[in-house]
Amino acid sequence: MEQSMEPLVGGSTQNTRGVGESLVVIEVRKQLYLAGPLIAGCLLQNVVQMISVMFVGHLGELALSSASIATSFAGVTGFSLLSGMASSLDTLCGQAYGAKQYNLLGIYKQRAVVVLTLVSSVVAVIWMYTGQILVLFGQDPEIAMGAGSYIRWMIPALFVFGLLQCHVRFLQTQNIVLPVMLSAGVSALNHVWVCWLLVYKLGLGNKGAALANAISYLTNVSILALYIRLSPSCSSTWTGLSKEAFREIPSLLRLAVPSALMVCLEWWSFELLVLLSGLLPNPKLEASVLSICLNTSSLVFMIPFGLGAAISTRVSNELGAGRPDAARLATRVTMILGVITGTSVGLLMVLSRNLWGYAYSNEGEVVGYVARMMPILAVSFLFDDLQCVLSGIVRGCGRQKVGAYVNLGAYYVVGIPAALCFAFVYHLGGTGLWFGIMCGVAMQMLLLLSITLRTSWEKEALQPKARVSLRLNRRHRNIQDTHFQEEEPLGI
């Protein structure tokens, strides 16, 4: 039966054209079902830190500046790293679920929790000296010390954030996404009340706003943990704590480290633009407009991010199940969806270019500058949209090491040098900085597209089987060794 269905998956024959079209519609529905809640969940998760900074903003200019810098530093050194490492579960859990090795999902999740907790401990030490580090890099001492105080109170949030990412990936790879969205919504709503209580009622000020992040993340992860523990849909994938979580950690790191590099290399390049904007003439205007552009880009980025998470799940599930044609179809569908969403959002950005600046400022100079930047942002978003879904395909295949090399070359060989050239050689200012980073995004998209089009899906479908077989062999050897050690005294 499976052999007779294989031609239908690709829709490669004329007499099955109608069936092929129906499979495309089914695939679109699957991806939209996954992407919709994931987009909403990501937006709601990101709102938490934004709300904290908004509460701090009412405490004074110094408090706001310190919290903003601390939040940026936390993202670069901590949250991006943990998010990237957790994305290795997109491959491991997704392929194990497709291969119906359900018990592996719980083990992979626990193993990731162990690794991310250890990494968080190292990052926490760095955060303890954030103030001194910022002063070393020339930041205003008063602002730097304020940022150092704020980020120290965010250390509990660091540990909980790692747990949250592991739980989200565990559910996402099983196509369970509605609880992810609902728990993020409850946490975001609860965060407003928690911030008010800690900042104003208990009088903790900006320290309370930082601590509120941990409480809201803990609320989120607690809801998901209860769901995993009590829901029948997770009864086969979560069977309780296991000692196996402490074994084969190097095998997880072989995926987690490249996964982190994929995320961090891209994240860091955009943060570098903010630093470079301070070196331009009229740095206040340039930094303000660039911040608006980055906030806008981050907001709309949640759309392709959701699509990328959806295709990562679809590809990993199909490859794990040994269905290369289905993985190929899913890839084609998501690229079409990427073009549609990228074009639609880009067009909306162009049409609203004269109004968008007023959401951030009433100064005509800022609004006019933002209006000139919006068409560039629209083109950049189209490239970013496509690279994001293509990155999801790479994660689904487990080729994060290739993705890391792509991002390194695209952003640090092409993007950042081009930004420096446009901004400081051709004197295009902030527009030049964004032109340069857009070159990097375009290069990243083209390289990932080339890799995807040249992918042998039949070979990729063999990788999950090899990974599972290797693990089962290791487990069998461990059982034999244990049995031998237990029996040996009887023979003496």
Q: Which of 191, 214, 247 is where one domain is finished?
A: 247
Record the tokens describing residue 104, joined without a space: 């592996």
Q: How far apart are CA 402 and CA 28, in angstroms?
A: 27
Scanning 454-491, the segments in alpha helix (DSSP H) are 457-491
Q: Please say whether the dihedral angle defined by the alpha carbons of residues 195, 144, 292 and 298, taken in this order, is positive or negative.
A: negative
Q: Do the domain assignments include residue 481?
A: no
Q: Do 262 and 373 lie in a common domain?
A: yes
Q: Which of 224, 247, 270 is where one domain is finished?
A: 247
Q: Do the domain assignments include residue 170?
A: yes
Q: Do 234 and 266 lie in a common domain?
A: no
Q: Do 215 and 287 lie in a common domain?
A: no
**Average pLDDT over every residue of 452-458:** 91
Q: Do the domain assignments include residue 253?
A: no
User: 263-273 pLDDT, tens per residue?
Assistant: 899 888 888 88
Q: Do the domain assignments include residue 440?
A: yes
Count of beta carbons in the 10 Å neighbourhood of residue 75 = 16
pLDDT greater at residue 130 or residue 50? 130
- Per the listing, tokens 């930094």 go with 287
Q: Do the domain assignments include residue 32?
A: no
Q: Do 424 and 388 lie in a common domain?
A: yes
Among residues 53, 364, 41, 340, the alpha carbon closest in space to that of 180 is found at 41
Q: Do the domain assignments include residue 6?
A: no
User: 377-426 pLDDT, tens per residue?
Assistant: 999 999 999 999 999 999 999 899 999 999 999 999 999 999 999 999 99
Let me know if 25 is exposed, middle or buried by CB neighbors in 10 A (0-12, 13-18, 19+): exposed
Which letter, b or e, does each residue of 301-331 get, where b requires 16 or more Cβ atoms within 10 Å of its Cβ?
bbbbbbbbbbbbbbbbbbbbbbbbbbbbbbb
Q: How confident is the model at residue 11 (pLDDT cuts 50, 70, 90)?
A: very low
Q: Does residue 344 carry a pLDDT above 80?
A: yes
Q: How confident is the model at residue 474 (pLDDT cuts 50, 70, 90)?
A: low
User: 277-287 pLDDT, tens per residue?
Assistant: 767 887 777 77
What is 33-91 written as a DSSP string?
HHHHHHHHHHHHHHHHHHHHHHHHHTT-HHHHHHHHHHHHHHIIIIIHHHHHHHTHHHH
User: 106-162 pLDDT, tens per residue?
Assistant: 999 999 999 999 999 999 999 999 989 988 877 778 888 888 999 999 999 999 999
Q: What is the extent of the structural domain holding 398?
A: 258-473
Question: Which H or E element spans position 443?
Answer: helix 429-453
Say if pTM beats, i.e. exceeds, 0.95: no
Q: Do 293 and 379 lie in a common domain?
A: yes
Q: Please, which residues have CB within 8 angstroms of residue 306's CB and are 6 or more apart in sequence?
A: 34, 35, 36, 38, 39, 42
Q: Do 202 and 338 lie in a common domain?
A: no
Q: Which of 212, 247, 282 is where one domain is finished?
A: 247
Q: Do the domain assignments include residue 30?
A: no
Q: Do the domain assignments include residue 119?
A: yes
User: 186-240 pLDDT, tens per residue?
Assistant: 999 999 999 999 998 888 888 998 999 999 999 999 999 999 999 999 999 998 8
Between the alpha carbon of residue 466 and those of residues 104, 396, 452, 463, the distances in Å are 15, 16, 21, 5
Q: Judge whether 157 and 221 are in contact, CB under 8 Å.
A: no
Q: How many domains does the chain have?
A: 2
The per-residue pLDDT for 465 is 65
Q: How far apart are CA 443 and CA 235, in angstroms?
A: 44
